[in-house]
Amino acid sequence: MENSPTSRGRFGDFGGQYIPETLMNAVIELEEAYDHWKDDPQFVAELDDLYRNYAGRPSLLYYAENMTRDLGGAKVYLKREDLNHTGAHKINNALGQALLAKYMSKTRLIAETGAGQHGVATATVAALMGMECVVYMGVKDMERQALNVYRMRLLGAEVRGVASGTGTLKDAVSEAMREWTSRIDDTHYLIGSTMGPHPFPTIVRDFQAVISAEAREQILAAEGKLPDAVIACVGGGSNAMGSFYHFIPDEGVRLIGCEAAGRGIDTWETAATLNTGSVGIFHGMKSYFCQDSYGQIAPVYSISAGLDYPGVGPEHAMLHDSGRAEYVAITDDEAVDAFEYLSRTEGVIPAIESAHAVAYAMRLAPTMTPDQTIIVTLSGRGDKDVAAIARYRGEDLHD
Amino acid sequence: MTRIKNAFTAADGSRKKAFIPFITCGDPTVGTTEKAILAMVAAGADLVEIGIPFSDPTAEGPVIQEANIRALAGGVTTDDAFDLVARLREDGVEIPLVFMTYANVVYSYGVGRFAARGAQVGLDGVILPDVPFEEKAEFDEPLAAAGLELVSLIAPTSHDRVRQIAAASKGFVYCVSSLGVTGVRTNITTDIGAMVELVREATDVPCAVGFGISTPEQAAAMAAKSDGAIVGSAIVRILAEHGEDTMPYVEEYVRAMAQATHAA
């Protein structure tokens, strides 16, 4: 079946703008503003200054020597997005979109959040730029990421719990979209991942592409050659899209996205969209979704609130179908093992989301040779997950 | 004349105000939905919107969200909704029946297959609140090929888009009265008259107003400025309150609303 010829923002068959008419002028206005400002010298300089002097960019490309020695194969480098201000890659996009919103004279930001990292990043930039901020978060996620809820409130944001559906990220996105239809004039919806209606998947990818722009330079400086593989975790897919983007033309570089298999892709308790889902239309985009045969969106599961989403960004859907990127599934057990492994081996506690990427690197590196290199994006730090991992291991520790 | 156009046309050929109730298929059972629609028809409904439930209805307020949850919990499927329309036609219902659902429900069924099955059972049109003008050809072309009309929506934020949307509209234009999601509102502040004027400059397709309408006074006021009034949440709330025993309440409510609309 053909997409409509008037449709905008396509990645192959995927993407588009499947949203209520009420929001159409808002996304058109956003696209026009983005096209106008993205290459404007003042906008670029201001964002670059924020990246350097507020977020702490460039982030390190760290050679994980202990891990490399222990795994006995390819050299493993970690792209340390966990060292950014607020502790994750989410700040890259939050700063970019908030600055754009400011240039558009918006005074209020709304956002959805899963693990809370995007909510914290949005609350942070709202505080910095003097904007009002409301974050939607599933009630189940508020419980498993209680620390981040308090951080957002500390930063001056209002956190609204979403009890509908599964009380997770999907429902937070739905509720933020509903809220946006009721208040558009002064409000920018700061979507946290490479998803939703056009132009969001492109805007978020562009702001996150700083990850691969830096990593490409850094690895060339360190090794004098491109990496053999780039590995990142995929929920909606923003850190992975950012990690892949500048390597896409480099055909020798394997791009590997790690989805959350939850309790396994052969169970219902999974969030591995590209591994188990089918093409559909939801949250403004045509892409892959976990759904039943009637198109009802599935109640997905992962230990990681940030990957617990039944869809994936449209550009990943395209990269999946074209074969340019590979998408593997990592179970809760593997991710928790990797979480503990990286903590002990390198003294780096990764976010449970990022631990999915670490887990695959642990599987892949031993199959490769010492002259080969892997870049693993550590999208965030794991402080927020410590209590949940303790509970997973049977210790009754609460935030 | 299509059945939808007929619903907006009086016996003498002049334009008539239409009252359009909405109901979620399978809330709480398909049997209840069938009886409720028969009650609505008896009470003077001119067209009925039947919601095929979706797990994540992003354009709906809490009342219709909950109806979707109840219906899906009862196991209702897209095929059940088609079967319902077939039975309503067997029951002798002659007014137009349209589905209101989300893009993914139609896409996952296969748009061509959905259109063919709709035509077979006597469906007249489809409303997809998450399919704007730019994305509509993908749905409109297969539906039109089967003789079904895809209803276009305009919103208070549409401004310069109204003319383009209206000029390409079919069936009727669904004029969204307010910002936000579906649900009962005390006041409707949008200048509906101005929106309808813009539609009429571009097309003679009828234009009905929905979102937020619950009282006969509101229905009359909206219908006076347009070609009809659409009511969803208020009816769903009656069903939620009375369950299987709801028919007399639905009939009484729809009768009052239809009378107020027709007299506008």
**Which residues of chain B from 231 to 250 reach within 8 Å of chain A, CB to CB?**
none
Mean pLDDT of B208-224: 96
Is A69 in the same domain as A105?
A: no
Instruction: Please give the tally of structural domains in chain A.
Output: 2
Is A316 in the same domain as A338?
A: yes
Up-side HSE of residue B96: CA atoms within 13 Å toward CB? 28
Closest CA to A332 of A231, A243, A258, A277: A258
| Among chain A residues, CA nearest to B138 | A4
Place of tokens 């004279």: A105
Amino acid at A362: M
> Which residues of chain A make contact with B59, given a CB cutoff of 8 A?
20, 178, 181
Instruction: Please give the tally of structural domains in chain B.
Output: 1
Domain's final residue, options A147, A178, A204? A204
B6 domain-assigned: no
Is A265 in the same domain as A324?
A: yes
Instruction: Give CA separation, A109 vs A394, B34, B188, in Å.
Output: 39, 44, 26
Q: Which CATH number fits the domain that encloses residue B73?
A: 3.20.20.70
Q: Which of A152-166, B27-41, B84-98, B178-192 is least confident?
A: B178-192
**Residue B189: band (very low, low, confident or very high) from pLDDT cuts 50, 70, 90:** confident
**Average pLDDT of the residues of chain A:** 96
Helices (H), chain A: 21-37, 41-50, 65-71, 90-103, 117-129, 139-144, 146-154, 169-182, 200-208, 210-223, 238-244, 273-276, 314-322, 332-346, 352-364, 386-392
Q: Which residues pair with B29 in a beta bridge?
A: none
Question: What does chain A come to in residues?
Answer: 399
User: Looking at residue B245, what is its pLDDT?
Assistant: 86
Cβ–Cβ under 8 Å, residues B210 and B185: no
Cβ–Cβ under 8 Å, residues B179 and B156: yes
pLDDT digits (tens, 9 = 90+) for A322-363: 999 999 999 999 999 999 999 999 999 999 999 999 999 999
Judged against a pLDDT cut of 70, whether residue A398 lies above it is answered with: no
Is A318 in the same domain as A372?
A: yes
**Catalytic-role residue among A59, A81, A106, A112:** A112
**Which residues of chain B from 68 to 127 reach within 8 Å of chain A, CB to CB?**
72, 77-78, 102-112
Q: CA-CA distance, A355 to A26, in Å (whole number)?
A: 36
- Give A311's DSSP letter: B
pLDDT digits (tens, 9 = 90+) for A295-331: 999 999 999 988 999 999 999 999 999 999 999 999 9
Nearest CA of chain A to the CA of B236: how many Å?
18
Query: For this structure, is A251 an active site residue?
Result: no
Q: Which CATH number fits the domain that encloses residue A148?
A: 3.40.50.1100
Q: CA-CA distance, B60 to B67, in Å (whole number)?
A: 10
Residue to substitute from B25, B69, B130, interface A, most A β-carbons within 10 A:
B130
Which residues lie below 8 Å from residue A15, measured CB to CB, with a gap of 6+? A9, A198, A201, A285, A286, A287, A314, A315
**Average pLDDT of the residues of chain B:** 96
Judged against a pLDDT cut of 90, whether residue B65 lies above it is answered with: yes
CB contact under 8 A, B107 and A295: yes
Residue to substitute from B56, B63, B106, B153, interface A, most A β-carbons within 10 A:
B56
Residue to substitute from B24, B52, B54, B55, interface A, most A β-carbons within 10 A:
B55
Domain's final residue, options A136, A171, A204? A204
Is A191 in the same domain as A104?
A: yes
CB contact under 8 A, A24 and B180: no
Pick from A4, A181, A289: which is nearest to B135 by CB?
Answer: A4
Q: How is residue A76 written in tokens?
A: 């493993």
**Residue A399: band (very low, low, confident or very high) from pLDDT cuts 50, 70, 90:** low
B70 domain-assigned: yes
For the stretch B198-222, what's the b/e string if a residue is b when 16 or more beta carbons lie within 10 angstroms of its beta carbon?
bbbebbebbbbbbbbbbebebbbbb
Judged against a pLDDT cut of 60, whether residue A365 lies above it is answered with: yes
Judged against a pLDDT cut of 80, whether residue A397 lies above it is answered with: no
Q: How is residue B216 written in tokens?
A: 């006969």
Is A108 in the same domain as A125?
A: yes
A1 domain-assigned: no
A3 domain-assigned: no
Query: For this structure, is A112 an active site residue?
Result: yes
Number of Cβ within a 10 Å radius of residue A187: 20
Mean pLDDT of B159-173: 96
A398 domain-assigned: no
A399 domain-assigned: no
Nearest CA of chain B to the CA of A364: how many Å?
36
Is A236 in the same domain as A193?
A: no
Amino acid at B221: A
Domain's final residue, options A175, A204, A233? A204
**Which residues of chain B from 174 to 233 reach within 8 Å of chain A, CB to CB?**
176, 179-181
Q: Which helix (H) or strand (E) holds A284?
A: strand A284-289
Judged against a pLDDT cut of 90, whether residue A1 lies above it is answered with: no
A306 domain-assigned: yes
Cβ–Cβ under 8 Å, residues B144 and B125: no
B12 domain-assigned: no
Cβ–Cβ under 8 Å, residues A55 and A353: no
Is A281 in the same domain as A346?
A: yes
Judged against a pLDDT cut of 80, whether residue A81 lies above it is answered with: yes
Q: CA-CA distance, B179 to B154, in Å (whole number)?
A: 11
Mean pLDDT of B126-139: 98
Write out the residue range of the structural domain in which residue A355 sits: 58-87+209-392
Instruction: Give CA separation, A246 vs A80, A130, A205, A243, A317, in Å.
Output: 17, 33, 11, 8, 17
> Which residues of chain B make contact with A177, given a CB cutoff of 8 A?
58
Closest CA to A364 of A71, A49, A5: A71
User: Looking at residue B186, what is its pLDDT?
Assistant: 85
A187 domain-assigned: yes
Is A292 in the same domain as A344?
A: yes
Is A219 in the same domain as A245?
A: yes
CB contact under 8 A, B181 and A284: no
A248 domain-assigned: yes
B68 domain-assigned: yes
Write out the residue range of the structural domain in which residue B226 sits: 23-263
A338 domain-assigned: yes
Nearest CA of chain A to the CA of B69: how many Å?
8
User: Looking at residue B171, what is its pLDDT?
Assistant: 97
> Which residues of chain A make contact with B157, given a CB cutoff of 8 A?
21-26, 184
Q: Report the SS3 class of residue B230.
A: strand
> Which residues of chain B make contact with A183, given a CB cutoff of 8 A?
179
> Which residues of chain B make contact with A16, given a CB cutoff of 8 A?
134-135
SS (H, E, C) B90-116: HCCCCCCEEEECCHHHHHHHCHHHHHH
Mean pLDDT of A372-383: 97
Is A254 in the same domain as A270?
A: yes
More confident residue, A168 or B49: B49
User: Looking at residue A151, what is its pLDDT?
Assistant: 96
Q: CA-CA distance, A264 to A262, in Å (whole number)?
A: 5
Pick from B56, B129, B134: which is nearest to A4 by CB?
Answer: B134
pLDDT digits (tens, 9 = 90+) for A105-162: 999 999 999 989 999 999 999 999 999 999 999 999 998 888 899 999 999 999 999 9
Rounded to the nearest 10 degrees, the angle between the axes of helix A117-129 and helix A90-103 is 40
